[in-house]
Amino acid sequence: MGPARSPRYEAAVRSARESYAALPPDAPVRLAKKTSNLFRPRPDAGPSGLDLSALQGVFALDVEAGLARVGGLTTYEQLVDELLPHGLMPLVVPQLRTITIGGAVIGLGIEATSFRSGLPHESVLEMDVLTPTGEVVTATPDGEHADLFRTLPNSYGSLGYVLGLVIQLERTSRYVVLEHLRFDSVEAVVAAIGEVTAAGAHGQAHGGARVDFMDGVVFGPTEAYLTLARWSDTLEGATRPGDHTGAEPFYRSVQHRRRDVLTAADFLWRWDTDWFWCSRAFGAQRPLVRRVWPRRLLRSDVYWRIMAFEQRHGWVSAYRRARGRPRQERVIQDVEIPLDRTADFLRWFLREIPIEPLWLCPVRLRTTTPGPDGGPPWPLYPMRVGEDYVNVGFWSAVDVPPGGRHGDTNRAIEEQVHALGGHKGLYSESFFDEATFEERYGGAAYRPVKQRYDPEGRLPTLYDKAVRSR
């Protein structure tokens, strides 16, 4: 299926199998990877990690059919660099450059095309998977390994490693034209999302204009913005494309610009430049600092390295203690809330949690058929077919009050999300007990697949990974 398996690709798969076979059989398996977009502790691979470095890049491309065979360790930055010259991109390009396509499939990814293109794993036609037994199997929606194909999304490497994938692609244009709409209540912005989503892919829901991309930012109960964007072959009257590596971060521009035009690449990485708005924690948004900060270093992986350095050394935490400031709890989450309950969640969050802004990203599964048992098509993250959701993202920290516990705020959010029929992504810290976790994240579907492909328990379970950080 899809573009042919080249000798170079087959050699890369062999190298992955050999690297796995060389690992000590009683040692934990860790992926030797320089970058991570997980916000929970990730054990170091050390000198003997699983090396999948040969599985990077586009191995075969069928421009006419809009299909590519790509390595699982390919970052979206590399994918975009290789595909845009052909006028193509993945159907969903997550916001951060160093997210890998394999990571987006076995974890979760989302972006402003998700209201019409769903999640990254929904554009996958087949996957070559290195299983915990050392075997490489080809998983497709139908066939011998369909059970693995369905349960890999949100499995976070607990069922195996994605070596290569055949993915569907989207045609692109040179530019993206953006319109930023202001709303004075969360109810109004959610209603507007529903209007656009109801019009379907590339719908004409807003003033007769096509909508190819949609996301938004909530700054408070009476200030929210929805960005509707579309492909364009021209600048449409602008003298030159916008540039948000300069003085003004992208998220601030939505507050006073009605319209913007960006190159395709700059649009895809508009959030990466300032890690959405989290670069403010490093001073990168202060005018004096921004003037001297090299533009090539305005990117999420740079901020990640700074944060990782602090996590290792704890200098900022020590400074806070010395000044008598309270301990802090990280609140870094993305949650999917049904559209008809999103305003309820936003009102609750803005009242109870001292964090702003919030990111809004509408999403509807691209898959239109339920799973073989009539349940969710992707059982480990059980979103429902045909239902509209809004991803709400928030990434900051809150003070732990006197007498409070670390995790209290995250636990409260987890329960509120569940009460509203939503689900939380697992890339960050989670606080579920094991029974609750299994109930909410497809334990009944996960267990037989885990037993089939990992009978000796070579890899940690999903609960071990997501909650125990093993």
- Tell me the pLDDT of the chain (470 aa) as tens digits: 678 899 999 999 999 999 999 999 888 888 877 666 665 555 554 556 899 999 999 999 999 999 999 999 999 999 999 999 999 999 999 999 999 999 999 998 999 999 999 999 999 999 999 999 999 999 999 999 999 999 999 999 999 999 999 999 999 999 999 999 999 999 999 999 999 998 865 655 667 788 999 999 999 999 999 999 999 999 998 899 999 988 889 999 999 999 999 999 999 999 999 999 999 988 899 988 998 999 999 999 988 888 877 677 666 666 566 666 778 899 999 999 999 999 999 999 999 999 999 999 999 999 999 988 888 999 999 899 999 999 999 999 999 988 888 899 999 999 999 999 999 999 989 999 999 999 999 999 999 999 999 999 999 999 999 999 87
The CATH number of the domain where 138 resides is what?
Answer: 3.30.465.10
For residue 264, what pLDDT is reported? Answer: 98
Expressed as residue numbers, the domain containing 12 is: 7-172
For residue 89, what pLDDT is reported? Answer: 98
Tokens 């999917």, residue located? 336
What is the share, in percent, of the chain residues with pLDDT greater than 90? Answer: 76
For residue 470, what pLDDT is reported? Answer: 72
For residue 37, what pLDDT is reported? Answer: 62
For residue 40, what pLDDT is reported? Answer: 55
For the chain, the C-alpha Rg in angstroms (whole number) is 22
C-alpha–C-alpha distance, residues 140 and 135, integer Å? 16
Among residues 466, 467, 464, the alpha carbon closest in space to that of 28 is found at 464
For residue 249, what pLDDT is reported? Answer: 95
Backbone angles phi, psi at 126, to 5 degrees: -160, 155
Go through the chain and tell me how many residues it has: 470
Identify whether 166 is part of a domain. Answer: yes
Please write the tens of the pLDDT for every residue from 222-249: 999 999 999 999 999 889 999 998 888 9
For residue 176, what pLDDT is reported? Answer: 98
SS (H, E, C) 210-256: CCCEEEEEEEECCEEEEEEEEEECCCCCCCCCCCCCCCCCHHHHCCC
Among residues 115, 308, 100, 351, the alpha carbon closest in space to that of 221 is found at 351
Burial state string for 185-201 with b = 16 or more CB within 10 A and e = fewer than 16: ebebbbebbbebbebee
Q: pTM for this structure?
A: 0.94
Mapped onto helix, strand or coil, the DSSP state of residue 113 is coil
C-alpha–C-alpha distance, residues 13 and 15, integer Å? 5
Among residues 401, 327, 391, the alpha carbon closest in space to that of 364 is found at 391
Among residues 79, 77, 78, 104, the alpha carbon closest in space to that of 89 is found at 79
Domains held by the chain: number: 1
Identify whether 104 is part of a domain. Answer: yes
For residue 139, what pLDDT is reported? Answer: 98
Query: Which H helix or E strand runs over 311?
Result: helix 300-313
C-alpha–C-alpha distance, residues 307 and 312, integer Å? 9
Identify whether 130 is part of a domain. Answer: yes
For residue 307, what pLDDT is reported? Answer: 80
Cis peptide before 357 (omega within 30 of 0): yes
Spacing of C-alpha 204 from chain mean position: 27
Identify whether 163 is part of a domain. Answer: yes
Q: Which residues pair with 71 in a beta bridge?
A: 164
Backbone angles phi, psi at 113, to 5 degrees: -90, 0
C-alpha–C-alpha distance, residues 3 and 82, integer Å? 16
Please write the tens of the pLDDT for every residue from 380-403: 998 999 999 999 999 999 999 888
Identify whether 329 is part of a domain. Answer: no
Identify whether 242 is part of a domain. Answer: no
For residue 321, what pLDDT is reported? Answer: 66
Judge contact between 125 and 2, C-beta under 8 A.
yes
C-alpha–C-alpha distance, residues 449 and 440, integer Å? 17
Identify whether 357 is part of a domain. Answer: no
Cα dihedral value 349, 354, 356, 361, nearest 10: -20
Judge contact between 16 and 72, C-beta under 8 A.
no
Identify whether 316 is part of a domain. Answer: no
- The residues near 247 (Cβ < 8 Å, ≥ 6 apart) are 287, 290, 291
For residue 163, what pLDDT is reported? Answer: 98
